[in-house]
């Protein structure tokens, strides 16, 4: 939900000038990915407003579409996999040292926690009468470990105004375990110091196994008895993070050498419309009863498995063209100034949306499950954007710069010497 482009500074293999612009970007900021992040953020916001107004509760096709707006969360997860694993993929395929874990963790901390803590404080002060003086609640929420308090939060997902933070808890669990997963992938893919293509294929196989474990985990949720609280723990979401991680491997591989990955990147880059159509169709299918009843969690093992597979398809097909295309219609549609700006403030949109939604309903005197969807969405989205703008400018960005005080800046990696 909060990632920026890789800043590892790791060099990639030299490519002819005539083909360099056709290769996917693997360093720096990619504005098209900002656009994807914006779509996911406002899709989730629309989902929450549609629940509050009752529009997503109504029978029919439109209600079903609105009820599956939660797919924005898997899209965020896939973006995290792509952007955060990419420096490890560069190190693996380039035969270089892995990124510094300490600096990586500090960057994640300053990117996530300060603004999140502000929202927690606001929500608990506004609506947390039952928890305001409870140190345990404050500790769980501030440390993002409330997902694991089965007796207290698993059904309500947290105090009022903080219901969406279950997904941020999953994100943080991924952040903490990513260096371990990356080390295991490298241990398998790099053994024997094989060629770049072999390392890349092994990495893709290892990541596919991690993704497959999500489905094993879902089956385990239902045997011997159904344990619904396991739905909001990290292993179930590996299937969403892994497509982004695999895209990181493929894009870096395409930069490193000519071959299958480069051809695939060009094919995906030129097939954005087809992939987006597949994403739309997968979303429509997910809006039918094949993924179970609405708003009751997962009501069966098979519906849970179908939901995982369809949401994974949506996330991959939406992100892949933006990850692999540097110019053209994708960048024009998703990387323009408006979409890029909305993507940059999307973390604030995610954090503040329930606070704004509940305050708006209190101000207008509306009751839960009533109200006009479009009017309420326009008002809540507009106010949320304003607050997100200021929290990004005065909280998120200053906090991110604090990393310089706790860890030294990485030294540039020298270019390899060439033979005389």
**Is 84 exposed, middle or buried (CB count within 10 Å of its CB: 0-12, 13-18, 19+)?**
buried
Q: Delimit the domains of the chain by residue range.
A: 23-405
Non-local (6+) Cβ contacts of 128 within 8 A are 137, 159, 160
User: Which residue is associated with the tokens 């053209």?
Assistant: 328
Residues 299, 303, 309, 311, CA torsion sign:
negative
**Is 122 exposed, middle or buried (CB count within 10 Å of its CB: 0-12, 13-18, 19+)?**
middle
pLDDT at 297: 64
pLDDT at 48 over 80: yes
Assess contact for 218 and 293: CB atoms under 8 A.
no
Cα–Cα dist 34/337, whole Å: 10
What distance lies between CA 177 and its chain's CA centroid? 15
- State the CB neighbour count (10 A cutoff) for residue 281: 14
Q: Is the pTM of this model over 0.95?
A: no
In tens, the pLDDT along 69-117 reads: 999 999 999 999 999 999 999 999 999 999 999 999 999 999 999 999 9
Average pLDDT, integer, range 330-354: 94
Average pLDDT, integer, range 151-176: 89
In tens, the pLDDT along 231-265 reads: 999 999 999 999 999 999 999 999 998 889 999 99
Average pLDDT, integer, range 15-31: 67
pLDDT at 123 over 70: yes
């Amino acid at each position: 939900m909060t990632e920026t482009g890789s800043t590892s500074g790791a060099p990639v293999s030299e490519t002819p000038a005539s083909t360099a612009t056709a290769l996917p970007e693997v360093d720096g900021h990619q504005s098209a990915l900002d656009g994807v992040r914006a779509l996911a953020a406002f899709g989730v916001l629309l989902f929450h407003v549609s629940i509050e107004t009752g529009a997503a509760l109504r029978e029919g096709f439109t209600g079903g579409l609105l009820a599956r707006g939660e797919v924005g969360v898997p899209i965020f997860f896939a973006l995290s996999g792509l952007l955060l694993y990419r420096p490890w993929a560069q190190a693996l395929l380039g035969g270089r040292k892995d990124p510094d874990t300490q600096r990586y963790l500090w960057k994640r901390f300053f990117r996530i926690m300060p603004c999140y803590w502000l929202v927690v404080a606001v929500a608990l002060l506004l609506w947390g009468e039952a928890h305001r003086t409870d140190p345990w609640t404050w500790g769980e929420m501030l440390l993002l470990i409330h997902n694991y308090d089965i007796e207290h939060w698993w059904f309500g997902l947290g105090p009022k105004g903080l219901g969406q933070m279950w997904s941020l808890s999953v994100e943080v669990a991924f952040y903490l375990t990513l260096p371990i997963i990356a080390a295991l992938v490298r241990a398998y893919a790099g053994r024997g110091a094989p060629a770049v293509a072999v390392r890349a294929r092994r990495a893709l196989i290892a990541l596919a196994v991690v993704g497959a474990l999500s489905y094993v985990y879902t089956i385990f949720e239902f045997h011997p008895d159904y344990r619904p609280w396991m739905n909001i723990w990290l292993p179930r979401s590996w299937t969403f993070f892994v497509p982004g991680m695999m895209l990181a491997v493929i894009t870096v591989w395409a930069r490193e050498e000519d071959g299958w990955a480069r051809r695939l990147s060009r094919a995906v880059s030129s097939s954005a419309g087809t992939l987006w159509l597949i994403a739309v169709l997968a979303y429509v299918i997910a809006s039918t009863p094949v993924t179970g009843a609405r708003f009751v969690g997962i009501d069966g093992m098979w519906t849970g498995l179908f939901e995982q597979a369809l949401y994974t398809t949506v996330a991959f097909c939406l992100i892949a063209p933006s990850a692999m295309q540097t110019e053209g219609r994708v960048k024009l549609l998703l990387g323009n100034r408006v979409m890029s700006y909305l993507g940059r403030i999307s973390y604030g949109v995610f954090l503040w949306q329930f606070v704004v939604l509940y305050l708006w309903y209190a101000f207008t005197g509306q009751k839960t499950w009533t109200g006009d969807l479009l009017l309420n969405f326009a008002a809540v989205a507009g106010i949320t954007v304003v607050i997100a703008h200021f929290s990004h400018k005065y909280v998120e960005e200053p906090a991110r710069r604090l990393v310089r005080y706790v860890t030294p800046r990485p030294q540039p990696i020298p270019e390899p010497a060439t033979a005389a």
